[in-house]
A and B are shown apart, each in its own frame.
Chain A
Amino acid sequence: MKKPMILTLLLAVSVVASAQTLRLQSMGGMTLGIRDTQLSINLYDFGRNPAWLLRDEIQSWLEITPRLDDSWGSYRKKFDPQTFENYRLGFEGVQALGEKGTFRGYASYVYERRRDVYRALKRVPYGGDAFFLTDTTTGNIRYNGPLVQFMYAYDLFDDLLIGVSGTYQILDGLKDRYSRIKTICRNLEGTVGLAYQVTPALSVGATFTPASGQEGIEAKSDEVYSVEVFNFRGETYAFRQMGSSVDHKIKVNGESTSLQAVWQADSSLVIGMRGEYGVDRTHVLVTRSASMEREEGTASLEHYAVDLQVQYVPDNDFSLGVLAQYSKNREWSKYTTLDLLLWDWKTREFALGIGASYSLVPSRWLLGAEYQYSGGKVDSSKYIDNKFRSETFAVHTFRSGVEYQLFENAAARVGYAGRISSFDVVSGGKDVVFHGITGGGTVWINKDIQLDLLIEHGKASPRNSGVSRTVLNAGAALRLWSR
């Protein structure tokens, strides 16, 4: 459940699912049926192909993006934090170099604080594998560190573009109570993409993305206390490690391949398709004596996804979007020494969505709304715990937003996002209802300086459960255009 889980984890801290810009996030997080320069159906925004950066970003700009994402509440799984706080400051820039291509760079610094984490020591305890690492206390864990990213696109020939991108992130973690674990997370990801303009209306692309990550967790007895940690295989069975020092490593490597096509059927209709296949392999390494590192277990994730998105824009006032998605995931974990299967889970999910927006030009209003239905099935066989579960789920998502042009150089936005899930795949809740409100705006300080603001607030709660989880996100983007 790694990718869906990580995805949903991100959803949990963001009112809106896939909005890429503060503008759309502040309009309830609409993604369909609304036009936005940074969410177009092209090989870059939709296809995530770095090669198309060259065609998508033709102006240079620099952006400063402070952001906070907080969530808190008792609606969570056992090892999740009671309170999650993430603060980051990012700098992003695009430099259009003309015939030499286009360069995009991003750097940020993250400070993340997880309060009241019950025993869990892994950064993502519910990553989809069967291996948990715990100590004996509830404490706060903070992570902080930089992330850097670059992207470069170049026109190899008149109609063939090549692009590369790379991301490197390093995070230091520290638990403030016994066992006072120290964590170092390193993630490295690269993408190579090709894009080919077959005809003026049709463009196709392909990307290949290898990725590698490692989370090293080290606990050393401070002052006088021994370190005591438990390595779980599944939820029930754990072996104890005690000593002056305990080391634990989680290594993940994988690769994904994506094919994309965008067809501009005519001036008002554009269709995008994207297919992806990816594999992730997780290796859990435990040091059980002074110098012997042993593979405790492995997990393997396989992921397929197909996206289809259509946008119809008959005129400047009206826009209609349609979405269809299908994805399939399978992950299994095994205990390496005995080559025994511990956990095997599969998900199948589809989504259909439709959205529209309409611009009331005289009064400068833009109104938008969209609806998305997702359904699927989760099959989980936790052999080691003798727990078997099969659930079908349906998710109804509503988003709506309003943009009002206050002045020639200022706009205000509000939005609403609602979601009703028959079954929450991540937290296991039934009949989970989410309501969120969003707000924001844009101010053009002058023709070259643009300031976007966002605030989101929402609450998720299983019906009649008495528990809930609240999210509060805020962000700003100060963009300096180079014209």
Chain B
Amino acid sequence: MKKFIVAVFLSLILVAGCAENPPSMVDGNGTLYLIAVWDSTDGAVPNAPLLPMSFAKVIILSEYGLMIRETDGNGILFLDMLPATTYTLSARKPNPNRPNMQIVGSKLDVLVSAGAIRRDTVFGQSFSSTGIAINEVYACGPVNSVFYFYDQYIELYNGSDSLRYLDGMMVMRFSGNGAGKGPGGDEGDDGDIDGATYEFKFPGVPGERNYPIAPRQFVVLAQDAVNHSTSCAGAIDLTRANWEFYNQFSGSDIDNPNVPNLINMRSSHTTDFFLSVTNDVVVVSAGRDSNYVDGIDIVDVIDGVEYQTSSNLLKTLDRRVDRGFALSPGSYSGKSMQRREPGSDTNDGIIDFEILNVPTPGRQ
């Protein structure tokens, strides 16, 4: 019996776990060799020589956040000791020939593997902002603990060199279509985006020329164009907003008589133009298609932004409108999302937008 007990015990000790062996590959030794080039003729001359995007700002995004580096005089960026992951790269610089244009080149899903050198080329294109874009979205509300978020605003920007008009344009929030592809998805693949829940409209009809927006002009659309800091310390004074969302079907919506209104197109909707504080879809359309029931035609969309707190979440806004989503700040943090350069729109929110600690209505 004694021997049996001792034998069982010693067997127990012998079968006790041993340490595993570590992996043979190590992290932190990936290398990225990036060349950024652009065609100064923008394709006008076939086989035109490509020029290096020298001293271009390179935005490098990954699950680890954002890095900003610069190419050298030959348009080359060499980064070593990188963790293995998938990167999104965007190189951008002002067009040396046209001061009002940006050269922007992007590359998605660039996999840098452990111990390997990833060589890649970014081809830049000149972007003259084609027109009106959503430049800033302030949705999270000021720092407060009473759920105050009524100082939300959307800022538009005319990045073109010509006068544009807001007549008849619509600003929409997409938060419906939850059962299908989600807010802003093209349900049925019929070329429109579905799930619009708010539709507010500038006065007039598309094509009219009563409400201009000048080149390089910012236009602020306030939820309520009042001084919100009198209601909540730290909230934004929007009395100088250019436009105000006003729901004529609501009995309680504030209307600043000195600020023109965008009015509600849906009588069933009786609240103001509220945005979710951390995740939502905002779309601006020309207003030719106002039938939200069967979806808004994608060709009618001028710009759209989807914002989320994490890049791991499911994207729902159709990729033809926006390929990625802007990372949003936390709720009630007093921060906004703004394009890195005014109106610079590569149709990829994650590259185009950054978080601002202090919102800047009416300016960059």
Contacts and interface: CB of A to CB of B under 8 A. Distances in A.
B44 interface: no
Contacts of A383: 26-29
A133 interface: no
Interface of A: 156-157, 160, 162, 192, 194, 196, 206, 208, 221, 223-228, 233-234, 237-243, 254-257, 279, 281, 288-289, 300-302, 330, 332, 334-335, 338-342, 344, 382-386
B28 A221 contact: no
A464 to B, nearest CB: 33
A225 B9 contact: no
Contacts of A288: 312
Contacts of B2: 156-157, 160
A335 B27 contact: yes
Contact of B27 (A156, A162, A342): A342
B19 A208 contact: no
B234 to A, nearest CB: 13
A384 B13 contact: no
B293 interface: no
- Residue of B5, B28, B145, B330 with most chain A CB atoms under a 10 A cut-off: B28
Nearest to A234: B28
Given A160-B2, A233-B83, 5 more contacts: A225-B331, A281-B20, A301-B19, A338-B27, A341-B22
Contact of A384 (B23, B28, B146): B28
B33 interface: no
18 contacts: A157-B1, A160-B2, A206-B9, A208-B12, A221-B331, A223-B145, A225-B332, A225-B333, A228-B330, A233-B83, A237-B64, A239-B65, A240-B310, A242-B278, A302-B19, A340-B26, A385-B28, A386-B28
Interface of B: 1-2, 5-6, 9-10, 12-13, 16-20, 22-29, 63-65, 81, 83-84, 114, 141, 144-147, 278, 309-310, 312-313, 330-333
Contacts of A226: 278, 309, 330-333
B25 A340 contact: yes
A341 B63 contact: no
A288 B311 CA distance: 11
Contacts of B13: 206, 208, 257
A233 to B, nearest CB: 7
Given A335-B27, A385-B28, A243 B114 contact: no
Nearest to B309: A242
A332 B312 CA distance: 28
A156 B5 contact: yes
A192 B23 contact: no
A344 B28 CA distance: 13
Contact of B22 (A224, A344, A386): A344
A335 B141 CA distance: 37
A301 B81 CA distance: 26
